[in-house]
Amino acid sequence: MCGIAGYFLPRKQADLADIRAMCDQIRHRGPDDEGFHIDGGCALGMRRLSIIDLNTGHQPIRRDGSLWVVFNGEIYNYQDFARIS
Catalytic residues: 2
Locate the DSSP E strands across the chain. Answer: 3-8, 33-39, 42-48, 61-63, 67-69
Helical H segments across the chain, by residue range: 16-25, 78-84
- Measured in residues, the chain has a length of 85
